[in-house]
Amino acid sequence: MPCANAIQKQQTKACGLCCTRLEDFGVKIGRTEILRDINLHIHCGELMAVIGPNGAGKTTLLKAILGEISHTGWLRFLDASNCQARKPIVGYVPQKIDFDAGAPVSVLDLFSAALSSWPVCLGHSRRLQERTEASLLRVRADHLLKRRLGDLSGGELQRVLLALALEPKPDLLLMDEPVSGIDVQGREMFYDMVSDLRRNYDLSIILVSHDLALVSQYAERVVLINKTVICDGTPEDIFSNGQINLAYGPFYIDSTGGKQTYAKNSGGAIA
């Protein structure tokens, strides 16, 4: 059937790769039910922000998608043709990696270890070094190539981790508060970069964040979770919903900038 093939091809081309479906997704650790009845469909090229109070299970959700903890229900990655499930490449930018700052591991070492099987202790190939440089250039961090991980600043480290998560090019990018504890300029630079990448590479991104001002600026879809999905919609939908505001807010609309911000009592965001 040449016709069907052509359509399929076109679809594959148009819609980069796959979409991700969570069906009746839940997580139980011991007897504690952390997440239940999660049904989400993430399209390619979409930036979906996940928000919710502390202990709502946001990080758990990411960890379950990564396969770090086991889950109930289904997690499906579907091809553009919508029927073929395949193993996706998932990129992950962790919140703040916990690592030994004294370890003599350079940025290049980290990339080599992740991208090749040639033992890093024997040195690096020129090809790999060039690839790493190119990949760091994408996040404006090529000058960090030979620096020790422990010597990087918070913002630099997150950019390096983002570059690593994009190598090889992922189908789905998970980010867990990638810029918490980083100054405003660093944060905006990071999200500008993420938006560029999303446009250029047609990535699906799930972003866990507490920074609602930035979320409403960069995400086109916001999902509020607290054990399960409470609300799913555009930033406007979520932040203007009266009931949601009552329970989880208040969010208010900053009329001057047209952005929504998230304030609790005297403006202190719930961290």
Partner 1 sequence: MEIWYSLVDHLFPFAWAQHIFMKNALMAVLLVGPMFAIVGTMIVNNNMAFYSDTIGHSALTGIAIGVLLGFGDPLWIMVIFSIVLALIISSLKFLTTASTDTIIGSVSAAMVALGIVILSRGGGFAKYSRFLIGDILSITPKELLILAIAFGGVILLWGFMFNRFLLVSVNMSLARSRGIPVHLIEILFCVAAAVIVTISIQWVGILIINSFLILPAAAARNITKNIRQYHVVAVLITIVSGIAGLLMSYYLATATGATIVLIAALFYLLTFIWKPRFL
Site for partner 1, rule CB under 8 A? 63, 66-68, 90-92, 94, 97-100, 102-106, 108-110, 112-114, 116-123, 146, 148-149, 161, 164-165, 174
Question: Shortest distance, CB of residue 106 to partner 1, whole angstroms?
Answer: 4
Question: Shortest distance, CB of residue 195 to partner 1, whole angstroms?
Answer: 22
Q: Of 98 and 255, which has the nearer Cβ to partner 1? A: 98
Distance (Å, whole) CA 229 – CA 232: 7
Q: Of 2 and 102, which has the nearer Cβ to partner 1? A: 102
Question: What is the residue-wise DSSP string for 130-160?
Answer: HHHHHHHHTTT-GGGTTSBGGGS-HHHHHHH
Question: Shortest distance, CB of residue 212 to partner 1, whole angstroms?
Answer: 25
Kindly give, in sequence order, each residue whose CB lies less than 8 Å from that of residue 175, ignoring residues fewer than 6 positions away.
92, 93, 165, 194, 205, 206, 207, 208
Q: Of 149 and 179, which has the nearer Cβ to partner 1? A: 149
Question: Shortest distance, CB of residue 256 to partner 1, whole angstroms?
Answer: 39
Q: What are phi and psi of 74, to 5 degrees?
A: -125, 145
Q: Of 164 and 230, which has the nearer Cβ to partner 1? A: 164
Question: Shortest distance, CB of residue 72 to partner 1, whole angstroms?
Answer: 19
Question: Shortest distance, CB of residue 110 to partner 1, whole angstroms?
Answer: 6
Q: Of 26 and 91, which has the nearer Cβ to partner 1? A: 91
Cross-strand bridge partners of residue 21: 41, 76
Q: Of 106 and 260, which has the nearer Cβ to partner 1? A: 106
Radius of gyration (C-alpha) of the chain in whole angstroms: 20
Distance (Å, whole) CA 162 – CA 205: 12
Q: How many CB atoms lie within 10 A of CB 155?
A: 18
Q: What are phi and psi of 64, to 5 degrees?
A: -70, -40
Instruction: Return the C-alpha torsion angle 146, 192, 207, 156, nearest 10.
Output: 20
Tell me the pairing of strands 90-93 and 72-78.
unpaired
What tokens appear for 97 in the block?
Answer: 């990696």
Q: Of 119 and 267, which has the nearer Cβ to partner 1? A: 119
Question: Shortest distance, CB of residue 115 to partner 1, whole angstroms?
Answer: 9
Q: Of 30 and 242, which has the nearer Cβ to partner 1? A: 30
Helix (H/G/I), strand (E/B), else coil: 21: strand
Cross-strand bridge partners of residue 252: 261
Question: Shortest distance, CB of residue 100 to partner 1, whole angstroms?
Answer: 6
